[in-house]
Chain A
Amino acid sequence: MEISFFEPIGVGNGLHSTNPWLQEMPNPVDRTVWGNYLAVPVKFDGDKAFEALNGLKDGDLVDITIGDVKYTVPVIQQFGQMQGTVALALGYGRMEAGFCGTNVGVNVNACVARNGGYPQYFSDKVTVSGKQGKEKEFGCVQYHHTYGVTDKDKATGQTINADEAATVFFDYFTGAKGFQGAITDRSIIYTTNLADLKESVAEVKEKREHAQFLNSKQIYRGHDALYAKGHHWGMHVDLNACIGCGSCTVACMSENNVPVVGKREVSRHHEMAWLRIDRYYYGSVENPNTVYQPMMCQHCDNAPCENVCPVNATNHSSEGLNQMTYNRCIGTRYCANNCPYKVRRFNWLDYTTADLFPANQIKKFGEDIPYGADNLTRMVLNPDVTVRSRGVIEKCSFCVQRLQEGKLTAKNEGRTLRDADVRTACQTACPTGAITFGDMNAKDDLAAKLESPLNYIVLEEVNVRSSVNYTMKVNNRDESLEA
């Protein structure tokens, strides 16, 4: 058994553990937050279940002995973790790291041995126990990690999608397993290899044309003529460029006053991020590929959230924006239920101290004024963006405040708006240029991106008319070299 240590992209070696944005930014590999989790290898049992090391499940506590020292850490099942190895992040468990970083996770920095002055980010003197208990607050933002990972079926010897077979919880003693295509037949992620590019492009084209044909049969007239005039804001996300680093999610939180909710709330799936990066594994269970999919409000022109709101708190602008009117929202959450992309976020508690709810103003550190209500702390907020109160829904606005600013700039300079005038926070933060934002009606940056035959729209057949295009992920791997 070997353990590898790594400095996670969020807190690094511990230097950044005082920053709540980074603590709450999901780790790109295992999607956990607020602490370090022992990544244990997973294998498929050849029938209909995944088995992790020692029969461990997500959130189980284990005793791990590294050298002579015993630590108790929670576990996460990690696809692609090599059998016979485990991994654990450094940089956690700091004892003096301010309000947010103190005693978060387990400190294993001391386990990094030195060899000739060089740190050794591994150890082979490690034993992992069985389940010792359950982590009370398992901070992970994604519970289904795979998009059709393949392995051999024991009975037939054929290669099947193991995760689809494993969607069954109880088979009524029939031996039933999940049906093939349950996940991969969805139009969420398209991937291909460079060698198969032509066929894949044709396949996506056929699927999209079929969806568009069905969508054209709708009995409603729609508002396409309206959106063809003026601005029609849209986005393009290149899945090939996205490295899943999470910069966009942090930029979004900083720009839009999105609250950090802490470990307990994340463990109850109450995270507020307007923009998340869905991470799926696909390909063989032993050696899967990864695809990152930034997912934010798709600003659907046929938005299912809008027609279900009883009080018109969410509605559509003539520029194709799906808008939230926080003042009007009464919090029925119907919009969030009816969102196929599940990008709407509800203020379950008073996360921002925007309201006068004494019950919600937790004085965690015995301060006079609740932490979030302190004038100095509140200077972190963007004055251009409303701070949302408890009980309202919020979601990505395409940085409407930046659009407004861009439009004013262009107007003041007496010229038409260019895509370069309006850049969303996520777009500016992306180190690889995966995100392009702009006016779909203009012949500019975004329009150029929209011409690619690799583009697709997530869940196009639902006919919500999303304004966000994604590019099919293309791998350039020599399959013959793989083990």
Chain B
Amino acid sequence: MSSPVSLIREPLITGNKTYHQITEDLISPTEKTPPLSWMLGFIVAVTFLAVFVFTVGWTIYHGIGTWNLNRTIGWGWDITNFVWWVGIGHAGTLISAILLIFRQKWRTGVNRAAEAMTIFAVICAGQFPIIHMGRVWLAIFIFPYPNTRGPLWPNFNSPLLWDVFAISTYFTVSLLFWYTGLVPDFATVRDRAKGMRKKVYNFLSFGWTGSAKHWQRWEALSLVLAGLSTPLVLSVHTIVSFDFATSVIPGWHTTIFPPYFVAGAIFSGFAMVLTLMLTTRKLLKLEDYITIEHIESMNKVILLTGTIVGVAYLTELFIAWYSGYVYEQFAFFNRALGPYWWAYFGMMFCNVVSPQLFWKKSWRRNIWLTFFLSIVINIGMWFERFVIIATTLARDYLPSSWSYYSPTWVEIGIFLGSLGLFFTCYLIFSRVAPVVAVAEIKSILKTSGNQYKGAAHHHDGHQEEVHHDHH
């Protein structure tokens, strides 16, 4: 993994850290009583989680009729939220798998938290296909299990069934990958802990001893899981896009959807990573590990994917016009100028216009602007899914059936509640596991930048002593 020390590249870890300091900085948050800011955040998150439980319970008890969906618009906020959450998850997988393959070492600063985000986002996403069902108690019907009804299998032609496999595979692989990375770090936590805590972390680290054989197997498993995750970055949102692309509804039936959805997913995922990391680095004082350099790299990804998404929007409009097919032409005309014009405008502004600010280097490196835009982009990507789903259905083939849709308090509650679910998970994660991959960040300490070399001279040649010592 080592590469020549560059005099040009900026260091990935600042602050002249030693290996011990890294351990101290990254493990100690799991050992201290959470600060007030965390407590307040947790109370808010759990409150929203309670809203989620209540509104979902309300929906199941009273029926989907408590939502404002109607005979024309069968999906609204529910599936919008589903696609939004799945999309957010993609950045974590991209960072952990694809950036690993491309040897992007800056990924080590953010991969742990980004993977956690993936898992929690997929958990949130997974709620929606289930709770949007009219008869949620029969959700088991979507699984191909042996039965005495013929046997009767699910419909393997249905994109919704593909979703079941795509999302469950994605969740499983992401969880394994994330947990594999956590094993040596849990061992580090264990080594510093006492009593019950030690037992728990010992269990969580599967009795990791840090032997060479353990490291070898760990490296091999990580590589296998990275190999499995890489196609998932592309396939999961491709399959989600098939929910729409394989239909006959103008505005949905579009071959551009798979690449466009994947780019959008990475775009929104990186925005969410930035939202989370900018907060986390501030609260846990991780500025030396998640540096401006990281933020700038992620902003570059946002600029690229945001522009791809913009090109996709314009391509859709062009193809609609070029198709000569009145249904398609009207669908896109209606998106931009019809009753939901505000959603289309919001999507265009947030996703295409706002990231263009990142062409300017100093703005890419501006934390406040980055934070603000990361929120704007998350809103924009939510609008995109809403535009695709609700706007398209609202005015499709038969003018007699055109209608309009706005959510009830139940639907809004479920969405806000899913944010509560997400942040509850994330906040718990930030106190029980190191939010930066300790073992992995140690591996890059000396490989980039000449800063460590300089530091090492001051500290009397520390680098020889600690090269393989991760603890």
Cα of A186 to Cα of B250 in the assembled complex, Å: 13
B62 cross-chain contacts in A, Cβ below 8 A:
349, 357, 359-360
B301 touches A (CB below 8 Å): no
B338 touches A (CB below 8 Å): yes
Residue of B nearest to A168 (CB): B337
Segment at the interface with A among B66-74, B103-111, B190-198, B307-315 = B66-74
A269 cross-chain contacts in B, Cβ below 8 A:
70-72, 403
Are B330 and A346 within 8 A (Cβ)? no
A144 with B63: in contact, given A171-B337, A331-B134, A333-B74 (CB under 8 Å)? no
Question: Contact check: which of A278, A332, A359 meets B400 at CB < 8 Å?
Answer: A278
Cα of A304 to Cα of B247 in the assembled complex, Å: 7
Map CB proximity to B onto A131-174 as digits: 1 under 8 Å, 0 otherwise.
00000000000111011000000000000000000011111100
Map CB proximity to B onto A307-342 as digits: 1 under 8 Å, 0 otherwise.
111111000000000000000111111101110111
A391 touches B (CB below 8 Å): yes
Are B134 and A311 within 8 A (Cβ)? no
A182 touches B (CB below 8 Å): yes
Are A182 and B133 within 8 A (Cβ)? no
Map CB proximity to A onto B24-63 as digits: 1 under 8 Å, 0 otherwise.
0000000000000000000000000000000000000111
B101 touches A (CB below 8 Å): no
- Identify 15 residue pairs between A and B in the complex whose beta-carbon atoms are under 8 Å apart, listed by A's number: A147-B399, A182-B333, A185-B326, A186-B327, A268-B70, A269-B70, A280-B400, A307-B157, A308-B158, A329-B134, A332-B129, A333-B75, A334-B243, A340-B396, A344-B71
Cα of A269 to Cα of B401 in the assembled complex, Å: 9
Closest 4 CB pairs of A and B: A331-B134, A391-B134, A348-B65, A269-B70
A169 cross-chain contacts in B, Cβ below 8 A:
337-339, 341
Map CB proximity to B onto A381-397 as digits: 1 under 8 Å, 0 otherwise.
00000000111110000
Are B72 and A464 within 8 A (Cβ)? no
A400 touches B (CB below 8 Å): no
A360 cross-chain contacts in B, Cβ below 8 A:
62-63
Are B158 and A334 within 8 A (Cβ)? yes
Are B248 and A340 within 8 A (Cβ)? yes
Cα of A357 to Cα of B134 in the assembled complex, Å: 13
Question: 8 Å CB contacts to A: which residues of B134-150?
Answer: 134-136, 138-139, 141-142
Number of A-B contacts (CB under 8 A): 195
A350 touches B (CB below 8 Å): yes
Are B160 and A345 within 8 A (Cβ)? no
Are B330 and A307 within 8 A (Cβ)? no
Question: 8 Å CB contacts to A: which residues of B396-453?
Answer: 396-404
Residue of B nearest to A303 (CB): B248
B367 touches A (CB below 8 Å): no
Question: Contact check: which of B135, B154, B157, B327 meets A391 at CB < 8 Å?
Answer: B135
B221 cross-chain contacts in A, Cβ below 8 A:
none
A336 cross-chain contacts in B, Cβ below 8 A:
71, 74
Are A311 and B154 within 8 A (Cβ)? yes
Are A271 and B152 within 8 A (Cβ)? no
A270 with B70: in contact, given A337-B249, A390-B63 (CB under 8 Å)? yes
CB distance from A293 to the nearest CB of B (A): 8
Cα of A319 to Cα of B393 in the assembled complex, Å: 31
CB distance from A171 to the nearest CB of B (A): 6
A183 touches B (CB below 8 Å): yes
Chain A CB within 10 Å — which of B64, B69, B341, B400 has the most? Answer: B400
CB distance from A282 to the nearest CB of B (A): 11
A312 with B153: in contact, given A268-B68, A342-B398 (CB under 8 Å)? yes
B159 touches A (CB below 8 Å): yes
A144 cross-chain contacts in B, Cβ below 8 A:
399-400, 402
A49 touches B (CB below 8 Å): no
Are B154 and A178 within 8 A (Cβ)? no
Are A179 and B135 within 8 A (Cβ)? no
CB distance from A205 to the nearest CB of B (A): 19
A176 touches B (CB below 8 Å): yes
Question: 8 Å CB contacts to A: which residues of B289-342?
Answer: 326-327, 329-330, 333-334, 337-339, 341-342
Question: Contact check: which of B337, B397, B403 meets A143 at CB < 8 Å?
Answer: B403
Residue of B nearest to A348 (CB): B65
Are B338 and A167 within 8 A (Cβ)? yes
A176 cross-chain contacts in B, Cβ below 8 A:
337
Are B160 and A392 within 8 A (Cβ)? no
Are A295 and B400 within 8 A (Cβ)? yes
Cα of A328 to Cα of B155 in the assembled complex, Å: 12
Are A392 and B134 within 8 A (Cβ)? yes
CB distance from A200 to the nearest CB of B (A): 19
CB distance from B398 to the nearest CB of A (A): 6
A144-B399, A278-B401, A304-B248 given. 16 additional CB < 8 A pairs? A142-B401, A146-B399, A186-B397, A308-B247, A309-B160, A310-B160, A312-B153, A328-B152, A329-B134, A332-B132, A337-B247, A342-B397, A345-B71, A346-B64, A348-B63, A348-B64
B160 cross-chain contacts in A, Cβ below 8 A:
308-310, 332, 334
B164 touches A (CB below 8 Å): yes
B173 touches A (CB below 8 Å): no
B138 cross-chain contacts in A, Cβ below 8 A:
330
